Structure 1
Amino acid sequence: MNILAIDIGTTTGWARTDRNGIVHGGSAKFAPLAMEKPGHRWLKFRAFLGEQRASGEIHAVYYEDVKQHAGTLAAHVYGGFLACLEMWCAANNVPLRPVGVGQVKKHWAGKGNADKTAMVEAARAKGFRPVDNNHADALAILALAQHIEGVALAATVEQEAA
């Protein structure tokens, strides 16, 4: 089962499996550049999702369902990314499944309130080389998704930067 796991945000962590069970992942930045209009972040995100689909069939998308944000802007940006993700999944007939922040952290690092450092350390202990904490979170989401779906997380890892 090919699963795309996303830690959505201006810097989005992602991890996905391909048909051979190889884990691909990294993080992608969607902040608009100085000469771009604010809407460009959503266009970049949509293009990113299209690239993921072009890399192989996606059977499900799992994302971290954040209920509390650091501030108003963070909440608005998260909501925009979530709306784009919902629209893309609906248009491509891909199931979209939320998982709770504490649930992801507990499954990955053993504590529902694990900090960023603990999430990265847990990824390294499992044989991954996360590029940042967003990528580590995406790997954690993928591991939980595969647990939920009854699929084993592959030991073969390929690092990518988007």
Structure 2
Amino acid sequence: MNPTLLALDLGTRTGWALRSSDGHITSGSESFRPQRFEGGGMRFLRFKRWLTEIKSHADVISALYFEEVRRHVSTDAAHAYGGFLATLTAWCEHHQIPYQGVPVGTIKKHATGKGNAGKDDVFASVTARGYAPVDDNEADALALLHWAIQHHDDGQEV
């Protein structure tokens, strides 16, 4: 029986990948784009509700890994990431789920052999593993999940 692991590429379009206890991997991409007539915090409430939904389907999440971004394209992107990160870490603490941020370069190096690989390279490496990601967010989450599986299962738990 494998520990259930969840990997997230946080953002307005969040990529996710989940390895269930039977070893089956599912993944996707979920949009948390602000709706036209909702307040600024609603996207984070929808994100929190979505996390709870994932948890209810997975039953138990043994550990959660997220892509740790240190540099953002814009101030808006940085603010959005900060909101998703705050929501995620509070949710994990509430549900007593261990969590760990993994630097982007670490994920890219594991997936492609190069820490400065481009999005296309990560996408290609995930596709070569037999996946068909809908976008680069899902591809990043799958790459992170494979890093997490190797490190978590080797006894380097979060």
* TM-score (normalised: structure 1): 0.91
SS at match of 1:105: helix
Identity among equivalent positions (%) equals 44
Q: CA deviation at 1:110?
A: 1.4
Aligned equivalents of 2:55, 2:153: Cα separation in 1: 22
Q: How many residues align?
A: 151
Deviation larger for 107-116 or 3-12: 107-116
Aligned equivalents of 2:120, 2:53: Cα separation in 1: 29
Q: What are the superposed Cα offsets for residues 36-75 of structure 1, whole Å, 9 maximum, x if unpaired?
A: 2221100110011001100121000000111111111111
1:84 maps to amino acid: T
**Runs of 4+, deviation exceeding 6 Å:** none
**Uncovered stretches (5+) of structure 2, i.e. residues with no partner:** none
Structure 2 equivalent of residue 43 of structure 1: 45
User: 30, 33, 49: which is aligned to 1:31?
Assistant: 33
Instruction: Please report the RMSD computed on the Cα atoms of aligned residues, expressed in angstroms.
Output: 0.9
Structure 2 equivalent of residue 136 of structure 1: 139
SS at match of 2:29: strand
User: 133, 149, 152: which is aligned to 1:146?
Assistant: 149
SS at match of 2:84: helix
1:83 maps to amino acid: A
Aligned equivalents of 1:98, 1:34: Cα separation in 2: 31
Query: 1:2-41 maps to which residues of 2 (within 5 A)?
Result: 2-41=4-43
1:96 aligns with 2:105: no
Deviation larger for 36-45 or 76-85: 36-45
Q: CA deviation at 1:150?
A: 2.0
1:117 aligns with 2:117: no
1:39 maps to amino acid: G
2:32 maps to amino acid: F
Aligned equivalents of 2:113, 2:50: Cα separation in 1: 31
SS at match of 2:131: coil
Q: CA deviation at 1:10?
A: 0.3
Q: What are the superposed Cα offsets for residues 111-151 of structure 1, whole Å, 9 maximum, x if unpaired?
A: 11111111111111011111100000000110011111126
